[in-house]
Amino acid sequence: MASGNAIRGSRVGAGPMGEAERGESAPRLRISFWCSNGHETQPSFASDAQVPDTWDCPRCGFPAGQDRNNPPDPPRTEPYKTHLAYVRERRSDADGEAILAEALAKLRGEI
C-alpha cells in the first residue's frame, strides 16, 4: 500500500517545464579573477550589475583581482597578542611599578 504523500521526492520549483515556465534568465557575464596563488575563478554577473574590484578565491580564501599579472596582496595576519602584551605597549615599566605600589598600599591599608 502506498504511503499517500503525493509530493514525496519533489522540491519547490521542480517540474518538467524548466526554462519555459520560469522565463528566460538574465544575460550574464563571466569575469575572471586571479589570486596571488595563481588560482582563477570565474563568477558570473548580470550584464547590468556592477562588477566588484576584488573577489574572494574559493580555493584559498585570498582576495582575487581582475589583473592576472598583478593580483591583490594576501592579508597580513597579526600574531595573537596576550592581554599582558597590550598592557606593555601602553605602559612603561616605571608606570607598572607605580601602579603596583599603589595597589599594594591599598591592600595594606596605607591609603
Residue ranges of the binding site for Zn(2+): 35, 39, 57, 60
C-alpha closest to that of 50 among 73, 63, 31, 65: 31
- The three cell numbers of residue 81 are 597578542
Q: Cell 520560469, residue? A: 22
What's CA 34's distance to the chain center, in Å?
A: 17
Binding residue numbers: 35, 39, 57, 60
Alpha carbon distance 12, 15 (integer Å) = 9
